[in-house]
């Protein structure tokens, strides 16, 4: 008897980045969270923050689990981080390669290989977010290059995330102003000019790596608390890029289900899946008078992308409730 394949119910991400690379901001934006994540050990037991002996150990310095100060000690990459507001995501954190680069690099290598060798997709790693801070004078260290040149992540896509891109926008604004452009015009053209410079100067270096990332995402204004729409747009871009980098259709569905900060992504995924077109094509082959536009399979096909309201739809289907 063949062993039943256990499908994952959570999307698992390894996030890598040095201190101040903006990892905390990214995770909170994607999860729509404001507080700190819950921490779980390898056996799934919730860990008390006060008892941690890892970079998550606070030592009286900070009460923020992912804060830069807490990431400079010993590290336990095996621990899972989950935000209560977004239980569909599981994160593993690497402090990056700024201190003890060789040891941390090997730790990450072993972790990726271990997760890849697991038979169950449920516990495998599904994506890697590698964060670079553009406000650093050297965006890629020798250790970073070593990661991309020597670690083949196989089917697990790596998405390179360049945070604090507004720093490059400011530099572009200054350059355009020096060229004599009026203030308003320089401000308007700065983001485009910064992107062009990035594509010209840095992107070729990334593509030359032995194992380049599947996608590159540039995030700006992530700390703008007065413009939540900007932060949500950036988080949505990251989710979309991650989804496009996945090879497995089931994981694409899982990723969209995991996030719920942007309903538009769910709608787009439902349309892109082709289920609506398929149902419409099937309907043309049936008696148009007898065809029910709210047929059960169509509802199921669409609402699998909306797990948070799917249970209500299932009840309607079960009891043949009129949902119009």
Total residue count of the chain as it appears in this document: 324
**What is the location of CATH 3.40.50.300 in the chain?**
11-271
* pLDDT confidence of residue 217: 96
Burial 81-93 (b: 16+ CB within 10 A, else e): bbbeebebbbbbb
Mean pLDDT of the chain: 79
* pLDDT confidence of residue 169: 94
Burial 209-237 (b: 16+ CB within 10 A, else e): beebbbbbbbbbbbeeeeeeeebbebbbe
Comparing 31 with 98, the larger pLDDT belongs to 31
* pLDDT confidence of residue 75: 56
Q: For residues 187 and 92, what is the distance between their CA atoms, to the nearest angstrom?
A: 38
Q: Which of 41-45, 72-76, 158-162 has the lowest mean pLDDT?
A: 72-76
Residue 22 has pLDDT above 70, yes or no: yes
- Contact between 91 and 37 (Cβ < 8 Å): yes
* pLDDT confidence of residue 176: 95
Helix (H) or strand (E) holding 163: strand 158-163
List 89's β-bridge partners, or say none: 11
Greatest mean pLDDT among 53-67, 210-224, 288-302, 309-323 lies in 210-224
Confidence of residue 57 (pLDDT cuts 50, 70, 90): very low
First to last CA, the chain: 45
Confidence of residue 163 (pLDDT cuts 50, 70, 90): very high
Per-residue pLDDT tens digits for 236-292: 899 999 999 999 888 988 998 888 767 777 777 777 777 666 665 665 565 555 556
- Residue 221, sorted as left (phi over 0), alpha (psi -120 to 50) or beta, turns out to be left
* pLDDT confidence of residue 267: 75
Token pair 């404001």 is at which residue?
34
* pLDDT confidence of residue 316: 53
* pLDDT confidence of residue 160: 97
Distance of CA 297 to the CA centre of its chain: 30
Comparing 139 with 166, the larger pLDDT belongs to 166
* pLDDT confidence of residue 260: 73
Domain 11-271 sits in CATH 3.40.50.300: yes
Comparing 165 with 72, the larger pLDDT belongs to 165
Per-residue pLDDT tens digits for 120-161: 677 889 999 999 998 877 778 888 999 999 999 999 999 999
* pLDDT confidence of residue 175: 95
Confidence of residue 73 (pLDDT cuts 50, 70, 90): very low
Identify each DSSP E strand in 59-146 by its residue range: 80-82, 89-94, 127-133
Mean pLDDT, residues 20-27 taken together: 90
* pLDDT confidence of residue 71: 39
- Residue 261, sorted as left (phi over 0), alpha (psi -120 to 50) or beta, turns out to be alpha
* pLDDT confidence of residue 273: 73
Query: In a 10 Å sphere around its CB, with 0-12 CB exposed, 13-18 middle and 19+ buried, how is residue 24 labelled?
Result: buried
DSSP per position, 9-50? SSEEEEEE--TTSSHHHHHHHHHT--SPPEEE-TTSPBPPGG
Q: For residues 94 and 110, what is the distance between their CA atoms, to the nearest angstrom?
A: 12
């Amino acid at each position: 008897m063949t062993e039943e394949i256990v499908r994952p119910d959570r999307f698992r991400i390894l996030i890598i980045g040095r201190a101040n690379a903006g990892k905390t901001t990214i995770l909170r934006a994607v999860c729509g969270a404001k507080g700190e994540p819950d921490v779980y050990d390898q056996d799934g037991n919730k860990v008390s923050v006060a008892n941690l002996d890892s970079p998550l150990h606070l030592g009286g310095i900070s009460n923020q689990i992912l804060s830069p100060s807490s990431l400079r000690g010993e590290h336990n990459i095996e621990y899972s981080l989950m935000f209560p507001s977004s239980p569909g995501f599981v994160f593993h954190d690497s402090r990056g390669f700024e201190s003890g680069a060789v040891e941390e690099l090997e730790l990450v290598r072993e972790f990726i290989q271990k997760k890849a060798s697991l038979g169950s997709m449920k516990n495998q790693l599904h994506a890697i977010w590698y964060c670079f801070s553009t406000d650093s004078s050297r965006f890629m260290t020798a250790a970073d290059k070593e990661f991309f040149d020597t670690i083949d992540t196989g089917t697990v896509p790596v998405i390179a995330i360049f945070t604090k891109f507004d720093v490059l926008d400011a530099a572009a604004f200054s350059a355009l102003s020096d060229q004599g452009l009026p203030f308003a015009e320089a401000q308007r053209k700065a983001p485009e000019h910064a992107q062009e410079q990035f594509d010209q100067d840095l992107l070729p270096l990334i593509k030359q790596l032995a194992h380049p990332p599947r996608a590159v995402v540039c995030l700006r204004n992530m700390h703008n608390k007065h413009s939540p729409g900007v932060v949500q747009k950036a988080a949505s871009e990251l989710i979309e890029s991650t989804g496009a980098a996945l090879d497995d259709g089931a994981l694409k569905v899982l990723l969209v289900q995991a996030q719920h900060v942007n309903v538009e992504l769910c709608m787009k995924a439902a349309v892109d899946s082709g289920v609506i077109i398929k149902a419409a094509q099937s309907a043309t082959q049936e008696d148009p008078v007898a065809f029910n536009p709210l047929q059960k399979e169509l509802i199921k096909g669409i609402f699998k992308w909306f797990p948070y309201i799917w249970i209500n739809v299932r009840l309607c289907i079960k009891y043949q409730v009129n949902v119009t």
